């Protein structure tokens, strides 16, 4: 193996561009690659490449850095692992988190295979997170930290992963971009939206891919937690737990979506305190550290940028975990992720299966 | 960066370097001989003389009269002009069908799709597994409703040769116009417009030592054609716009050189091609060489190795200094499985593993030696990962 070759995933944005530039400065044999993940072109598949502008930006950056650039077509795998799942999850009344699955399957699995093919010892991305002694830690910039999306990657990947901007804050990254002469991308705005959802309108994707009479997109009742029907909605997939928009008004307190019951096509609403959960059940659990034991405490995060909450492990199987929260947490949403932390270190995570209204007592240690 | 010791260019079907003689021939027209051939003064006359001469010389290379040569910007324009120009000119006469093959270059398929948007009926010929037109299908589809039939002479991905003289004669009997995209055929196959019955033939300069941006469309005298562009009367109104004199002169020079060397060059390429194929098959016995059962042009080898993918192999080859190509590249540069291989029934896993190596003036014995050493090694590595993944 060429010990110092690194394949950098380049989106055309400032973070991955600076990541590549830093690696060049550090003397690595850097190869840039942009993953083409989706295409909204209609009859002629190659006609309209939605990622074209990003690809062009990434290519310009690589030209400036003097490194080769390739485009990797991961459309079919991404479509299967990420987009299909995204649609299925909404159809089941859940709120998916495609960026986690993209990291798990696309960026840190499929992309790694491309690195193997070109004898690259390392892969790198522009994520705000840090690899320290084969452990994954939060990025220096707490505001930009992206570890919440990285819990699902294979632990073995950490021994081949470099995250060059994890030690910078966003302002430093931008100033490095200027210093490297990468004016094309240095002031590019942040992309916060889901990359394959045009104009942030995820319902459009669902309408394209689900049958017209799919329950998730059909009319159903809006109910309260006591079961009273208080309105009608146009498809539960258009609602997310914690949402206020589209919820009937006229109550003493603001009302929120607190649950979705797909089998009754019902959207359940309630006041803010009904959003609170004291326990979390999560599945598809993955560990980036040695698995803890029942009774151990961890910090957990149920949304990107949500405050960390203390929790105790009350049940732990190979694939599933149940956590009891010290303090209730708002809007624990099935389909989203829960990430586990020990201080600054990301321990692992899972997909939220259910929120428990009451704190579960430890069966053995109950006192 | 690890610069490879001896870069190997095996992508001559994509483009070729401009020949020194061609460059020299063009130089005066980027210097003192800069005139516009439509001008009446001495500068204009000088440019006009060079253009007329270039037209005669290109005509001679194709067995055509000078007025049958229309200079274009290259293959895509020639193909579009022939298909859309012929269809638009003939649709009023009740000939509404356009016949082509599914293995054409995208320039043909795109032009045919445009014709269908304008009301044409598209008819796709069936292909054999080796990438040759199925004659029964041709007999069935080419009837008196056909305006134009377009079949490429040499396929750009697998090199298979179509029996154009035979097909053109049959098309003529049925009153259909015959176009052939000869972009990969020129210099590899004898072309003679006097003896062969095609009505249109496209060539592209940069495939044989002329610069990019110049080509020619042969248009048989008296063939109906609507121009694509409108404006001046250059090229009898078929292709308005000030002519690219320098490039036309370059095209003429390159065409003459190519034909003069044709026999020796093809023999050399055939030998190298056979050595390359034998070298790969000796080390990778289950490699599949596409179109091998067909009569093939000597410069194209298209090989798939089971258990590999083109994208990774092309990257790995490039990083070792070997330039080859894959299926159809889209705007972004990402590779999709080739429509040509899919159309001739190649299994999807093999289609997405295809690597095209195309030989030409830069190819030497040493190049082939290096590729037959590096390619099998990369293949072995790719397969080792594929196996590790399955277990």
The answer to whether B385 contacts A113, with C-beta atoms less than 8 Å apart, is yes
Query: Is B381 in Cβ contact with A68 (below 8 Å)?
Result: no
Nearest by CB to residue A36, choosing from B113, B332, B381, is: B332
Give CA–CA dist B195/B63, Å, rounded: 8
Residue A2's pLDDT is 47
Q: Is A29 an 8 Å CB contact of chain B?
A: yes
Strand-pair category, A220-224 with A266-271 = parallel
Least confident of A62-66, A321-325, B2-6: B2-6
**Has B330 been annotated as catalytic?**
yes
Q: Which residues of A touch B382 (CB under 8 A)?
A: 117
Closest CA to B302 of B324, B270, B323: B324
Contacts of A55 in chain B (CB under 8 A): 332-334
Contacts of A36 in chain B (CB under 8 A): 332, 334
Residue A72 sits at the chain B interface (C-beta within 8 Å): yes
For A134, A158, B67, the CA distances from A130, given in Å and listed in that order, are 10, 10, 69
Helix (H, G, I), strand (E, B) or coil at B384: helix
Tell me whether A160 touches chain B (CB under 8 Å).
no
Helix (H, G, I), strand (E, B) or coil at A239: coil
Is B332 within 8 Å of A66 when comparing Cβ atoms? Answer: no
- Spatial distance between the Cα atoms of B207 and B153, rounded to a whole number of angstroms: 14
Q: Which residues are CB-contacts of A220 (< 8 A; sequence separation ≥ 6)?
A: A232, A233, A235, A236, A264, A265, A266, A267
Q: What is the pLDDT of residue A49?
A: 44
Size of interface A-B (CB pairs under 8 A): 70
- What are A287's strand-pairing partners? A348
Chain A CB contacts of B332 below 8 Å = 34, 36, 49, 51-52, 55, 71
Interface contact B330-A49, CB threshold 8 A: yes
Contacts of A30 in chain B (CB under 8 A): 1
**Strand A2-9 and strand A29-36: pairing?**
parallel
Q: Give the pLDDT of residue A250.
A: 86
CB-based contact, A116 to chain B, within 8 Å: yes
Q: Is the pLDDT of residue A46 over 50?
A: no
Token readout for B323 is: 């330039």
Interface contact A117-B382, CB threshold 8 A = yes
pLDDT value, residue B331: 60
Residue B350 has pLDDT above 70, yes or no: yes
A17 pLDDT more than 60: yes
Contact assignment for A67 to B1 by CB distance below 8 Å: yes
Q: What is the mean pLDDT of residues A202-226?
A: 94
Q: What is the ipTM of this complex?
A: 0.86
Residues 6+ apart with CB under 8 A from B337: B327, B348, B351, B352, B354
| Of the partner residues A2, A68, A73, the one whose CB lies closest to the CB of residue B336 | A73
Order of all β-strands in the sheet with A255-261: A229-233, A220-224, A266-271, A255-261
pLDDT band, residue A248 (cuts 50/70/90): confident
The CA-atom distances, in angstroms, between A186 and each of A16, A26, A174, A182 are 11, 20, 6, 6
pLDDT band at A246 (very low <50, low <70, confident <90, very high): confident
Shortest distance between the Cα of A329 and any Cα of chain B, in A, equals 40
Residue A47: predicted pLDDT: 35
Distance CA A219, CA A234 (A): 4
Q: How far is B306 from chain A (nearest CA, A)?
A: 15
Q: How confident is the model at residue B328 (pLDDT cuts 50, 70, 90)?
A: low
Token pair listed for B54: 């270039």
Q: Considering only CA atoms, which of A82, A84, A93, A352 is closest in space to residue A237?
A: A93
pLDDT of the residue at A367: 38
Q: What band does A48 get if pLDDT is binned at 50, 70 and 90?
A: very low
CB of B233 less than 8 A from some CB of A? no
Residues of chain A with pLDDT > 70: what percent?
A: 93
Contact assessment for residue B148 and residue B98, using Cβ atoms and an 8 Å cutoff:
yes
Q: Give the CB-side neighbour count of residue A234, counting CA atoms within 13 A.
A: 5
Contact B172, B143 (CB under 8 A): no
Q: How far is CA A254 from the centre of its chain?
A: 29
Phi first, then psi: what are they for B236, rounded to 5°? 60, 25
Residues in B closer than 8 angstroms to A72, CB to CB, are 311, 334
Residue range A249-288, pLDDT digits in tens = 888 889 999 999 999 999 999 999 999 999 999 999 999 9
Provide the mean pLDDT of chain B. 94
The pLDDT value given to residue A41: 55
Q: What is the DSSP letter of A63?
A: H
A56 Cα distance to chain centroid: 25
Residue A1 has pLDDT above 50, yes or no: no
pLDDT reading at A365 higher than 50: no
Q: How confident is the model at residue A361 (pLDDT cuts 50, 70, 90)?
A: low
- Percentage of residues in chain B with pLDDT exceeding 70? 95
Give the whole-angstrom CA distance, residue A69 versus residue A66. Answer: 9
Partner residue opposite A118 with nearest CB, options B1, B316, B389? B316
Does A102 qualify as catalytic in the annotation?
Answer: yes
If contacts are CB pairs under 8 Å, which of residues 332-351 in chain B contact chain A? 332-336
Q: How many CB atoms sit inside 10 A of residue A22's CB? A: 22
Residue B97 has pLDDT above 50, yes or no: yes
Is residue A296 classed as helix, strand or coil in its secondary structure? coil
Does residue A339 have a pLDDT over 90? yes
**Residue ranges of the alpha helices (H) in chain B?**
20-26, 42-62, 75-90, 106-117, 135-141, 164-173, 245-283, 310-319, 339-343, 348-351, 365-390
Nearest to A117 among B316, B330, B331 (CB): B316
Higher-pLDDT residue of B76 and A305 is B76
**CB–CB of A29/B1 below 8 Å?**
yes
Q: Cβ distance A201 to A237 under 8 Å?
A: no
Cβ within 8 Å, pair A117-B336: no
Residue in chain B lying closest to A34 (CA): B334
Least confident among A149-163, B229-243, B318-332: B318-332
Confidence category of residue A45, pLDDT binned at 50, 70, 90: very low
Q: Is A26 on the interface with B (CB under 8 A)?
A: no
Chain B CB within 8 Å of residue A230 CB: no
Count of other CB atoms within 10 angstroms of residue B172: 14
Q: Is the pLDDT of residue B81 over 60?
A: yes
**CB-CB under 8 Å, B312 with A118:** yes
pLDDT of B383 reads 87
pLDDT of residue A154: 96
Say if residue B98's pLDDT is above 80: yes
Cβ of B333 and A29 within 8 Å? no
Give bridge partners of residue B216 from the DSSP assignment.
B71, B203
Would you give the end-to-end CA distance of chain A in angstroms? Answer: 57
Which of A117, A119, A121, A123 best probes binding to B when mutated, by most B CB atoms within 10 angstroms? Answer: A117
Q: Distance from A126 to chain B by nearest Cα, in Å?
A: 21
Please, are residues B345 and B351 in contact by the beta-carbon 8 Å criterion?
A: no
Taking the CA atoms of chain B, what radius of gyration do you get in angstroms? 22
φ, ψ of residue A144 to 5 degrees: the values are -105, -10
Q: Residues B110-130, buried b or exposed e (16+ Cβ, 10 A)?
A: bbbbebeeeebeebbbebbee
């Amino acid at each position: 193996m060429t010990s110092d070759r690194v394949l950098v995933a380049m989106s055309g944005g400032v973070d991955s561009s600076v990541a590549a530039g830093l690696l060049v400065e550090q003397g690595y044999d850097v190869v840039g690659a942009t993953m083409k993940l989706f295409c909204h072109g209609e009859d002629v598949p190659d006609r309209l490449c939605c990622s074209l502008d990003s690809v062009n930006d990434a290519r310009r950056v690589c030209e400036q850095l003097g490194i080769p650039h390739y485009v990797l077509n991961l459309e079919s795998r991404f479509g299967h692992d990420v987009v299909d799942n995204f649609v299925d999850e909404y159809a089941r009344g859940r709120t998916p988190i495609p960026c986690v699955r993209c990291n798990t399957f696309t960026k840190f699995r499929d992309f790694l295979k491309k690195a193997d093919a070109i004898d690259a010892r390392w892969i790198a991305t522009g994520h705000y997170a840090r690899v320290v002694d084969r452990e994954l830690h939060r990025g220096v910039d707490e505001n930009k930290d992206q570890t919440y999306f990285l819990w699902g990657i294979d632990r073995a990947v950490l021994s081949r992963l470099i995250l060059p901007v994890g030690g910078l804050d966003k302002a430093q990254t931008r100033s490095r971009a200027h210093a490297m002469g990468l004016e094309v991308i240095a002031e590019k705005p942040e992309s916060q939206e889901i990359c394959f959802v045009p104009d942030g309108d995820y319902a459009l994707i669902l309408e394209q891919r689900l049958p017209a009479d799919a329950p998730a997109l059909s009319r159903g009742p809006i109910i309260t937690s006591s079961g009273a029907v208080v309105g009608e909605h146009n498809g539960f997939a258009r609602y997310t737990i914690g949402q206020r928009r589209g919820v009937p008004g006229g109550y003493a307190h603001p009302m929120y979506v607190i649950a979705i019951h797909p089998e009754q096509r019902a959207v359940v609403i309630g006041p803010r305190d009904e959003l609170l959960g004291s326990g979390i059940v999560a599945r598809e659990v993955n560990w980036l550290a040695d698995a803890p034991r029942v009774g151990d405490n961890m910090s957990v995060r149920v949304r990107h940028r949500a405050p960390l909450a203390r929790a105790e492990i009350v049940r732990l199987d190979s694939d599933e975990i149940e956590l009891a929260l010290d303090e209730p947490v708002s809007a624990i949403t099935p389909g989203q992720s829960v990430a586990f932390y020990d201080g600054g270190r990301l321990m692992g995570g899972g997909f939220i299966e259910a929120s428990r209204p009451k704190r579960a007592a430890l069966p053995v240690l109950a006192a | 960066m690890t610069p490879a010791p001896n870069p190997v260019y095996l992508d001559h079907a994509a483009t070729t370097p401009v020949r020194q003689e061609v460059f020299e021939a063009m130089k005066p027209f980027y210097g003192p001989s800069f005139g516009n051939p439509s001008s009446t003064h001495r500068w204009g006359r000088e440019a006009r003389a060079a253009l007329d001469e270039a037209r005669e010389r290109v005509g001679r290379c194709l067995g055509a009269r000078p007025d049958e040569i229309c200079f274009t910007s290259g293959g895509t324009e020639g193909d579009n002009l022939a298909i859309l120009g012929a269809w638009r000119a003939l649709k009023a006469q009740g000939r509404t069908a356009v016949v082509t093959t599914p293995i054409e270059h995208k320039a043909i398929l795109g032009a045919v799709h445009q014709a269908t948007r304008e009301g044409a009926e598209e008819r796709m010929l069936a292909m054999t597994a080796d990438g040759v037109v199925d004659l029964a299908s041709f007999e069935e589809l080419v009837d008196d409703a056909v305006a134009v039939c377009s079949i490429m002479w040499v396929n750009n991905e697998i090199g298979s040769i179509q029996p154009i003289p035979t097909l053109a004669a049959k098309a003529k009997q049925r009153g259909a116009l015959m176009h052939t995209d000869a972009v990969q055929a020129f210099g590899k196959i004898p072309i003679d417009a006097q003896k062969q019955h095609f009505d249109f033939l496209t060539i592209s300069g940069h495939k044989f030592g002329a610069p990019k941006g110049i080509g020619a469309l042969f248009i048989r005298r008296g063939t109906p054609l609507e121009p694509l562009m409108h404006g001046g009367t250059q090229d009898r109104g078929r292709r308005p716009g000030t002519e690219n004199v320098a490039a036309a002169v370059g095209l003429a020079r390159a065409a003459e050189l190519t034909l003069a060397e044709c026999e020796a060059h093809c023999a050399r390429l055939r030998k190298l091609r056979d050595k390359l194929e034998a070298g790969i098959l000796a080390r990778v016995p289950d490699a599949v060489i596409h179109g091998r059962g067909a009569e093939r042009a000597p410069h194209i080898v298209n090989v798939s190795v089971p258990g590999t993918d083109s994208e990774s192999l092309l990257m790995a080859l490039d990083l070792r200094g070997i330039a080859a190509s894959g299926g159809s590249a889209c705007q972004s540069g990402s590779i999709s499985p080739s429509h040509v291989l899919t159309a001739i029934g190649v299994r999807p896993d093999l289609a997405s593993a295809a690597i095209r190596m195309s030989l030409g003036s830069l190819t030497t014995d040493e190049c082939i030696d290096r590729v037959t050493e590096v390619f099998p090694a990369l293949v072995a590595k790719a397969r080792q990962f594929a196996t590790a993944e399955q277990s």
